[in-house]
Structures are given as C-alpha cells and as structure tokens.
A = this chain, B = another copy of it.
Amino acid sequence: MVIPVETFTLSETGGTIQTRIKRQIVDGILTGRFLKGEKMPSSRQLAGHLGVSRMTVTLAYTDLVADDYLVARGRSGYFVSPTAPAGAPASPSVQRQSDRPRFDWTRALGNRPEPPPTVARPANWRQFPYPFIYGQTDPTLFDSQNWRLCALQALRHKDHDALTADQYGQDDPVLVDVIRRLILPRRGIRAEPDEILITMGAQNALWIAAQLLLTQRRWAGIESPGYPGIRDVLARTRCNTQPIDVGPEGLDPDMLPQTLDVLFTTVSHQCPTNATMPMARRRALLDRAEAQGFVIVEDDYEFELTFERSPTPSLKSMDGSGAVIHIGSFSKSLFPGLRLGYLVADAPFVTEARRLRSTVLRHPPGLVQRTAANFLALGHYDAQIQRLRQAYHGRRALMTSAITEAGLIHAGSVSGGGSCFWMRAPETVDTEVLAERLHARGVVIEPGAAFFYDADPPRHFYRIAYSSIAPARITKGIKMIAKEIDALR
C-alpha cells in the first residue's frame, strides 16, 4: 500500500528540512510503522503537503536509497527497501525525552482498587490439544454461514441509516422486539420495551446494576463459590461484600444477613457448581427480598444450554414486587466476542441504567445489534441452540464416563446440563500447581481458588468445561488430569 502523505509532518527543529524529512522516514521504518515494500508518496505530493520544494524531497529520497532504507523502481516511485535496516522492536516514543521527568501516574490514578484474583487462562489456549476451558465457543458448532448472511442483511442500504446514526441512548428496536417476543417468554418473563436494556454482554449488565445500586455504605451479597467477574465490579463501587455459602440447592435464604442491599445470584444454574435452586427455596428468597427490601440481580447465564431437562423458569418470572433485575447474554448461545446481553427490570431502574450506559458508551454498535436480531428472527438462533445442545450432550456423556473411569470427584451438580463440571481434588492438591503442570502437557483446566470470596480460599477445587474441546480428546485429557492429580497428592 501507499503510505499516506498525511502521516508526514515537519518538526520545527532538528537540522535542515532535508534532514528532518529523512529522519522521519528512517524513524517510520525503524519503528515498524512503514513496512518493507510499502510505497512512499510521490515527491510532488510530499513536497506539496509539507510546503517545501520538490527538490528537497527528492534529495532526501535519493539519500535514503543510498542507505538502503528506500529503493527506487523507475517510474513507479520509491518504496521501502525489502532489505531496509530493522529497528529495535520496542523503541520508546519520540515524545519521550530522557532528560525530562516522566509524569507520575501513581499519584494521578485516583481510583485503583486492587486487582482481585482471576481464573488463570492461557491466552493461546487454542494451541492446547486438551482445552477444558470455560466460556469460549467451538467455531465448528457455529453457523457462521447464516451469521454472515444476517450481517449482510443488516448492512443493506435500507437498514444502513438506522445502524450508522448516533442513537444517543436508544437500542435497536428490532433487537428489543425479538428479545421481548422470542427469548424472554422462554424464561417465563413478560416485559415491555421500556423494561429492557441492551448491554455489552452480561458483564456490562452486572457492572451497570452494581454501579447504580451500591455505594461505600451499602452491602452486596455474592455466592461463594461464585462468578469471579463480579469481584472487580464490586471493588469499583467500594461497597461492603458478604459472601454467602452455596450448597447443592444453591444459597440458603435463611443464611442471608440482615444488612443486605443487593444480592447477586445464579439461581437456575449456579456458577460454578451448576446447582439449581428448588422452587420452594426461590419463593422463600423472593419473600425474604420483599421483607428486607433488597434487590436481587439474577444472572441467568447459559439457560439455553439446559439440555437434560426443561429449564426451570427464571426467578424474575416469579417476581411479584419487581425487586429482581434479570440479566441474560448471547455469549454462550452465539459467541462471547459479540459482547451482547440484556437486562430486564422495572422501568424506573432501566431508565437510570440507560442513562448510565449512555454516559459510559452511548449504545452497543448498531451493526452488531441488527445482525443478532436477524439471526434470532430468522430462526437460526434456535437451530444453533439445538446444535449446541446435541454436541454438548454427547461431549458431556464422554466426560461423565471418563471422569468415573478415572476416579475424579464431582463437587457440584451433575444434572441439568450446561457446559462444565465443578470438581474437587484431594485436599492436599493445590489446583494452581496442578493447572500449571497440566499446561506443560497441553491440558487447560481452571483452578478454583478465584471462585471463593475468601482471604484463604480452598485450593483443591477446579473447573473443567467441554464447550471448546474436541470430543475425541476428552477421554485422554481426563486421564491426564487424573494422572497429574495422583502425582501431586
């Protein structure tokens, strides 16, 4: 490609004009901004742009040819030489002058909570033969052909205007309509459009809820073990956090503290134990919320993947007083890089949530919203869910028999479906050490300590998912985990 003439500016000092032009070109090549083989602007263009004589530019170019920074190709002009010198890979910015003190960011950064522990996942997990990693999808299961067609449809001229304009705080009405009519009823929820907000995934919805409802003086209840992503969200509000123990039937409403403003829960499919809260307990939880006056934030992630029985209705569907904020996401059913989710709550809350979202980011991109709306409305979404369920069902069966055969121990629910198992190693095994040793053998598992809200969390739990691993690799992978646990115990 041709290097745009606009990338050139003439510095005010630094030698003759010719020197300054040369320095800028050399700098561009050494720092990797100008790539080998790229074409320089013509001397006429560059001279016109910088307001200098064409001869000055030509002399700079010919000098650089002599040094093999550039090559001249007859009438075609000048190009970055294929054998041009290569610079240091990470040279400091020009703006950095070693004789000047750098700005002190330690002092300037006013709001910096300690990073909470996160689940260690190798960024290059796709290169691992046995990726029992959670929350990523399998490209072989995604209907990218129809997704492409839906994107094309969204890019049609007719829709283009709606997708390119600044919608201020508004969402794509087509997507809101599809969620309202086709998705929420599956969770037993009826909602008007002003009770729905599109978010940048469930994470964004959780953040918005926490940001609006929690202050330094308020109390949040979270499940332990629970979704680690909530921790950083809460740390930003500086609220007080109370962990609530989770058993085989989810959290116990009778164990909730008297002082509670917001409870974050995953009743239908607890993260990470996969426990489902029985209906009687849900009613008790809602009664409790009404009596104590706290808000329940229901993260209804992954409900589409309940394939071993009908999914239980959401807590929001039983919510008589309106204290439940329901959060859903397309990260598991479509793909996480889409960054698309939604939040359903009483209109007064949604109005404030919309205002906050508008301040922070305006709205999710129109193209992404309309593409998803098309995919849902045309039924591809349901076909996709069906395909995922079938594939996960098969993988889950392989996981289950491999786990039994290898003598590994479940620590969570094994019914209902989902995309992972919550496991327990012998107490003497630190699963972070286990995970590291398994990485070296090409196996990715998720150590469990980060799921506990505890200064000294139990270290012998771990999670293994089957959403990204090839079925043929499951049995061998599970065996390798068992072998490594044996070696460590």
Residues of A within 8 A of B (CB): 1-2, 4, 6-9, 27-28, 31-35, 49, 51, 90, 92-97, 100-112, 115, 121, 123, 126, 135-137, 139, 142, 144, 147-148, 151-152, 155, 157, 160-161, 163-168, 170, 180-182, 185-186, 188-192, 195, 200-201, 203-204, 207, 211-215, 218, 232-233, 236, 261, 290, 293, 295, 310, 313, 316-323, 331, 335-340, 346, 348-349, 352, 355-356, 358-368, 371, 377-379, 382
| Residues in B neighbouring A322, C-beta threshold 8 A | 95-96, 102-103
Alpha-carbon separation in the docked complex, A144 to B156 (Å)? 9
Cβ-defined partner of A105 (8 Å) among B7, B100, B201, B349: B349
Chain B minimum-CB-distance residue to A148: B155
Q: Would B367 and A151 count as touching, CB distance under 8 A?
A: yes
The answer to whether B167 and A144 touch across the interface, beta carbons within 8 angstroms, is: no
Minimum distance in angstroms from A114 CB to a CB of chain B: 11
Which one of B111, B317, B364, B378 contacts A211 once the chains associate, using CB atoms below 8 Å?
B111
Partner of A361, one of B93, B151, B157, B339: B339
Contact: B166 with A93, CB < 8 Å? no
A170 to B123, CA, bound (A): 10
The answer to whether B109 touches A181 (Cβ under 8 A) is no
Q: Closest residue of chain B to A2, judged by CB?
A: B379
Min CB–CB distance A329 → chain B (angstroms): 11
The CA of A195 and the CA of B96, in the complex, are separated in Å by 13
Supplied contacts A31-B190, A203-B361, A367-B368, 13 more A-B pairs, CB within 8 Å: A6-B185, A33-B185, A102-B346, A105-B346, A109-B212, A109-B349, A110-B214, A111-B213, A112-B352, A121-B168, A164-B336, A339-B364, A368-B368
Nearest B residue to A104 via CB reads: B293
CB atoms of B108 and A261 under 8 A apart: yes
A337 to B331, CA, bound (A): 22
Check A323–B364 contact: CB distance below 8 A.
no
B321 touches A111 (CB 8 A): no
Contacts of A349 in B (CB 8 A): 105, 108-109
Bound Cα distance from A360 to B111, whole angstroms: 14
The answer to whether B185 and A335 touch across the interface, beta carbons within 8 angstroms, is: no
Question: Are A160 and B185 in contact (CB-based, < 8 A)?
Answer: no
Interchain CA distance A355-B379 in the complex, whole Å:
37
Q: Which residue of B lies closest to A319 (CB)?
A: B95
Q: Are B321 and A101 in contact (CB under 8 A)?
A: yes
Nearest CB on B from A243, distance (A): 19
List chain B residues, Cβ under 8 A from A148. 152, 155
A359-B236 in contact given A95-B322, A102-B322, A215-B110 (Cβ < 8 Å): yes
Min Cβ gap A139→B in Å is: 5
A142 interface neighbour in B164, B203, B321, Cβ under 8 Å: B164
* Bound CA span A110–B31, Å: 49
A337 CB to closest chain B CB (Å) equals 4
Partner of A362, one of B200, B318, B348, B352: B200
- Shortest CB–CB separation between residue A259 and chain B, in angstroms? 14
Contact assessment for B110 and A212 in the assembled complex, using a CB-CB cutoff below 8 Å: yes
Decide if A382 touches B204 in the complex (CB within 8 Å).
no
Q: How far is the CA of A33 from the CA of B176 in the complex (A)?
A: 12
Is there an interface contact between B152 and A379, defined as CB atoms closer than 8 Å?
no
A90-B192 in contact (CB<8A) = yes
Judge whether A363 and B335 touch: CB under 8 Å: no
The answer to whether B164 touches A110, judged by C-beta atoms less than 8 angstroms apart, is no
- Contact indicator A339/B320 (Cβ below 8 Å): no
Chain B nearest Cβ from A215, distance in angstroms: 4
> Looking at A90, A367, A368, which has the most chain B CB atoms within 10 Å of its CB?
A367
Contact A361 B361 (CB under 8 A): yes
* A182 with B4, Cβ < 8 A, contacts A102-B322, A212-B109, A352-B109 known: yes
Residue pair A212, B102 in contact (C-beta under 8 Å):
no
- Which residue from chain B places its CB closest to the CB of A348 in the assembled complex? B105
Q: Is there an interface contact between A335 and B102, defined as CB atoms closer than 8 Å?
A: no
Q: Which residues of B contact A236 (CB under 8 A)?
A: 356, 359
Find chain B residues with CB under 8 A from A123 CB.
Answer: 168, 170
Closest B residue to A95 using CB positions:
B319
The residue in chain B whose Cβ has the minimal distance to the Cβ of A379 is: B1
A334 closest partner in B (C-beta): B164
